[in-house]
A and B are shown apart, each in its own frame.
Chain A
Amino acid sequence: MSATAFKSYRPPVFEADGDGEVLEVAMGPHHPSTHGVFRMDVALDGERVIKLKPVFGYLHRNHEKIAEKASYLASMPYTDRLDYFCSLTNNWAYALAVEKLAGLEVPERAEYIRVITAELTRIQNHASAIGFLMQEMGASGTPLMYAFREREKILDVFEELTGSRMMCNYMRFGGCRVELPKGWLEKVKVIVAGLPGFIDEVEALLTGNEILMARAQGVGILKPDLAINAGITGPMLRAAGVNYDIRKVDHYGIYDRFKFRVPLGDHGDIYDRYMIRVLEMRESVRILEQAIPDIPAGPIMDPKSKVRGFRPKVGEAYGRIEAPKGELGFYLISDGSGNPYRYRVRPPSLINLTVLEDMCLGQNVADVVLIFGSVDIVLGEVDR
């Protein structure tokens, strides 16, 4: 084959200014802004970043290997620990992949419950992500505590439904684990009715805020063509202006029944990522407002699905959902036995960090903390 010419996307090379003073700094793994144990090896020329290499693996426990040694169902509680902010969407992605692999149907009531819990998860994740971003900007406390106040209400209803605030372990192949408790939907209705007020409060505090605008606008710009090529998904991709939301594209579950818009950014900077998260919270509230009154009665589990002796036929499947942080996918290969032959998690947090270097090059070192915060990652999912 002759070598074909094609466009390849690599980070630009930044040269030092030549005075011989390049400082190499290891930011992390215990830096307070790294959301856990993550390291960036940064080369600085003055305050300017000229090289950045992310270092992973501090939280690596080989989730995939453990899952290959356990039965299909036994990995369900372990998916909670991937992105521990959004255990219910992790459950859903895994359940969806297994349902594709085994050809299971999900009853309508279970689909509604899944949408309600997933959208509540998205709201609390985006609220906390904004809170953490502001924390890193120096607004210590207030925005984060506002977000956590709201998140705590949502986690309370999760606890009532699933028995656990964060490690929910709620979804099953072909449905959900338990029926809604009495009066649960009324509680969710009260929370959802209060959410627009909360989002207004966040916007009043932050959207026109001069410090946020000064620090976030025009910083950490991500271009749409690079974002597509680098596989960026979720709010980061949409902030770069690419219209791609898996809820709209794949119509998994019952998302085609709800009216909601996909907010898009213009500039792809930190401010756009903040704004996209605010707008997505509003759209999630819209979905919840449509889903809660519509929820039908009926079973919550596919009668074909088995808890014991679950052995899908030989084959493979890739299932993906729009998790709050991006495309969360599970790739499973079955060899006909009771545990998966290959179990792969496609982690949005890890792949969204591919362009961290591109976004940070040429920026000040203080902005690296903000750019990193605007990606919104959880190390449990990055390292697995």
Chain B
Amino acid sequence: MKSAEEILAAIQSALPEVKVELVVNASPSQQHSLRLDPASALAVAVFLRDDPTMGFDYCSNATGVDWPDKEVTEKVKVSKVVDGVEQLVEEPVKRIQSGYLEAVYHLFSMKQGPGNEPGPVVLRMRTVNRTDQVQLPSLTPVWRSVEFQEREIFDLFGIVFTGHPDLRRILMWDEYEDHPMRKDYVDPDDYEYEPTPHDEVLKRAEEHKTKTAEVAQ
């Protein structure tokens, strides 16, 4: 079984210009992950799938994670006059750490057969922010199994996968506008509400009523 460090070393020796980072997972599961640069993610994915020493032909799971903006409190040393003497004092300073959306992929290998199966290789990619720069490269051309799962991430998290063959909403209806799995999603007051042609008929009837009332006067 290959560890995440060995796979990282293999990627770096085969594709030297690619940026990959190891993300350590502190939980007892010990499933460390590799953070890819979105610009070169497709090349790494193809390497992991097609290179005979890797052979991760099976991408099992793809999902999104939302990391909203958060307020971080840091202690900064500030020189301050205390009791007439200038001193270095630690003061808490608050700053906003900007949030991002993350896509996570779990890879396995079917080729190497039962017995020497590498555990999940976890790939992660981050968007720049959560509002306007939410594009990530789609891995559907490499692993067809994430076709519906990337559509689901697009639907529920709002990550736009460039290069996806059929990027539409999958679980929510097409006219829906929000992304329900985001942490700042607000539940609607009326779950059943959706605009219907009937609303327009009512609006026209109202206009007609006011118009006829004006004419009658």
Instruction: List residues of A whose CB falls within 8 A of some B CB.
Output: 1, 4, 6-10, 56-57, 60, 62, 64-65, 100-103, 226, 228-233, 242-245, 248-250, 312-320, 327, 329, 331, 333-334, 341-342, 344, 346, 350-351, 353-355, 383-384
Contacts and interface: CB of A to CB of B under 8 A. Distances in A.
SS of B interface (majority): loop
Contact of A331 (B17, B49, B106): B106
A245 B172 CA distance: 33
Interface string B112-132: 011101001010000000000
11 contacts: A57-B173, A62-B171, A101-B27, A230-B144, A249-B114, A316-B27, A317-B31, A331-B63, A342-B65, A350-B149, A384-B171
B70 to A, nearest CB: 11
Given A228-B57, A316-B31, A318-B31, A354 B25 contact: no
A4 B46 contact: yes
Contacts, number: 141
Interface in B55-76: 57-61, 63, 65
Contact of A229 (B29, B106, B145): B145
A229 B40 CA distance: 21
B114 A248 contact: yes
Nearest to B149: A351
Contacts of A353: 148
Given A103-B27, A331-B104, A346-B61, A231 B145 contact: yes
A179 B154 CA distance: 44
B145 A351 contact: yes
Contacts of B57: 228-229
A74 B27 CA distance: 21
B141 interface: yes
A342 B104 CA distance: 11
A315 B120 CA distance: 15
A249 B117 contact: yes
Nearest to B146: A231
Contact of B172 (A1, A57, A317, A333): A57
Contacts of B148: 350-351, 353-354
Interface in B32-48: 39-40, 42-43, 46
A230 B106 contact: no
Contacts of A350: 148-149
Contact of B171 (A1, A56, A317): A56
A242 B110 contact: yes
Contact of A102 (B28, B39, B104): B28
Given A56-B170, A354-B144, 9 more contacts: A6-B49, A6-B141, A57-B173, A65-B185, A102-B27, A312-B27, A333-B65, A334-B27, A354-B147
Given A226-B144, A228-B58, A231-B143, A315 B106 contact: no
A249 B117 CA distance: 7
Q: Which 7 residue pairs spanning A and B have beta carbons closest together? A: A315-B27, A231-B145, A103-B28, A317-B29, A100-B29, A57-B171, A230-B144
